[in-house]
Structure formats: C-alpha cells, structure tokens
Structure 1
C-alpha cells in the first residue's frame, strides 16, 4: 500500500510541476492537477495540504543542482554565470513561475526561504572574512539582477550579447564579491 501511495504522490508532483511551469501558479488549479494525475482534487490536498505547498514542492523537485558547492571559489563567479546562461528552458520556466507566484504570502515566504537555503547559505559557507554574510547576499542580488534582466525584462542587448562576454564580465563582478581583492 505504501508503494502505491508514494507513486500517487510522485505522480501528482510530476504533473503539478509541468502545469505550474507551463501555466503559472494562478492559472493552475488543484482540480486540474487532480484531473491530470487521475485523482480527486481532495487527494491532492490530502497529500500536500495546500496549493502553495504543492507548488513549492513541485518546483523544488524540478530544479537542477547548481554549482555553488562545487569546485574552487577562485573560479566560482564565471562558472556560476555560465551555469545561469546555459540553463535549459526548464530552469528559466521554474524561475519565472516562482517570480509570478511570489505575490501569494505563503509562496513569497517560501521563495525567501529557498533563496536563503539554496543560494545565500551555501555561498556564505564557502566565503571567508568578516563581511562574508553581506558579500553572499550581494552576490545573490547580483545574480538575481541578471536573471531579471534576461528572463523577466527580456533586455534585448543582453540577450544578443555573446554568452562568453557576459560570462567574463558578469563573472568578474560576481567573483569580486566572492573573493574580493583586499
């Protein structure tokens, strides 16, 4: 019985991730997710408690690993910017779904929490110096600004710029926060 429950829960998560990424938080209903998963919407609530919780768990499951904990910090700036610029459409869609869904109180709080856990804390743990906390937060803001310019605003100049140019220039800015020259 437990395997069947786990499979049902995983099936709900899979279709929810696809629906939320494709349609966004507001346009996706629990009834639709239930229909896609071939279960009653009440069962969706039973497993996840709310649409917000399902949204966050489904999108967290769909996110790829990021390179914050890999390799030397001396090259992290360029590596991370390259990761962002070469991210597949799924990463972009997840980011946009989170941004668009963050106007809901529960989602906004969880997005802030994921920001802390997935970006600020792992980076902070790798930095040294008395201002490591501030630098980790500035680095997160710097990367967030690039994502916003590319994926929300659709800055045509940045989108048309060769990725390697962006990797080198933006990577240098990020690297200065990671490993500042005294």
Structure 2
C-alpha cells in the first residue's frame, strides 16, 4: 500500500509535467503546481526543494523508459507502440515531453540532455550491428512523430485510428529498424 507521501509526490510530479508541457518555464509557479496537485506549495518545496529541482525531476525519464524498453528485442517494435499508446491514453507519454523542450529556454538543455542520455543511449545499447545509433534515433523519431500527431496536432486519421491498427501498420517498420534488417 502506498503512503500519503508517495501519493502526494506522484500528484506533484504529474501536475508539474502538465504545467511544463503547457507553459514556458518562467510562467510556471510552484503555487499553481501545488494547486493542481491538491497539495500546499510548502509541501512541494519540502519534497522537491525548488522549481528548478522539480523541473530536473520531471525532466528525468528513468522508470518510464525502463517500462518502455521492457521487452525482448524481437518483440520490441510492437511493445514500444503498445506502451506508447497506453501512455497516450493515460496522458503520460514520456517521449512527448521532449517536444516541449523549446519553450523552456535554458532549461531545455537539461531535458534534451536527459533525453539523449537516458532514452537514446538506452535504446542504442539494446541494438547491434551497423548504424545502431542512427537506427535508435530513427525509431524514437517515429515514436515522437506519432505522439505529436496523435496528442498535440490531433490529426484526424491517427487520432481516430484503433490502437491495434496503428500497431499493425507501424510495428513491422520499427522492428526492421530495431533488428537492422533491410
């Protein structure tokens, strides 16, 4: 059973992710994040110390990427798509955060660096063969593009498509990139 502190921390992180996804860094206040999380601003400070430290926590990809990459390589293409589409439905897509990096000025560097070090490098380490780094980035480009079109731009066909249809159409191409197959 999770304690109140863990529930509060998760609520604060979720509220911070929403705030940082919607507004420039300078426009965000801890008071607004606290209100969205249903906690007090002093509690946000107690758990995270400052807005900058909270942003640093939100900019990490850790456990989410563990879940995203948690499949054997031969099944990873389908798994990535299912995991990403699940994340879309739960409004917690870890990859789409990087699409909002430009609005955070100097703080965007942290988000971009974390994405490169925690996401790109982790996927790259799973791949073998020629062009592994390029293939890892191409897989992530496909997933980011899907997320942007589905959750930000809301294109008609992708937004209306059944999850299984998206997976069936996209997984073979992703798997070829993951495997290094022509």
Provide structure 1 residue ranges, at least 5 long, that are not aligned to the other structure: 1-6
Cα offsets for 1:32-73 (capped at 9, x unmatched): 4467543549x8299534x233124146489744231x3321
**1:90 and 2:111 aligned:** no
Closer, same or farther: CA 96–71 of 1 in aligned 2, 3 Å: closer
With the length of structure 2 as denominator, give the TM-score of the two structures: 0.73
Closer, same or farther: CA 56–11 of 1 in aligned 2, 3 Å: farther
With the length of structure 1 as denominator, give the TM-score of the two structures: 0.73
State the secondary structure of the residue aligned to 2:103: coil
Work out which structure has the larger RCO, using CA pairs closer than 8 Å and 6 or more positions apart in sequence.
1
State the secondary structure of the residue aligned to 2:92: helix
Closer, same or farther: CA 107–172 of 1 in aligned 2, 3 Å: farther
**1:17 and 2:13 aligned:** yes
- Equivalent pair of 1:25/1:97 in contact (CA under 8 Å): no
Match of 2:158 in 1: 158
Q: In the aligned structure 1, how far is the partner of 2:53 from the partner of 2:165?
A: 39
State the secondary structure of the residue aligned to 1:168: helix
**1:67 and 2:68 aligned:** yes
Q: Which moved further from structure 2: 23-32 or 75-84? A: 23-32
Cα offsets for 1:1-42 (capped at 9, x unmatched): xxxxxx5xx68744532432444444541234467543549x
Provide structure 2 residue ranges, at least 5 long, that are not aligned to the other structure: none
Aligned residues: 170
Q: In the aligned structure 2, how far is the partner of 1:96 from the partner of 1:127?
A: 22
Closer, same or farther: CA 72–95 of 1 in aligned 2, 3 Å: closer
Match of 1:123 in 2: 123
- Equivalent pair of 2:120/2:136 in contact (CA under 8 Å): yes
State the secondary structure of the residue aligned to 1:167: helix
Q: In the aligned structure 2, how far is the partner of 1:142 from the partner of 1:61?
A: 18
| Higher Rg of the two aligned structures | 1
Q: In the aligned structure 1, how far is the partner of 2:79 from the partner of 2:7?
A: 34
Deviation at 1:177, TM superposition (A): 1.0
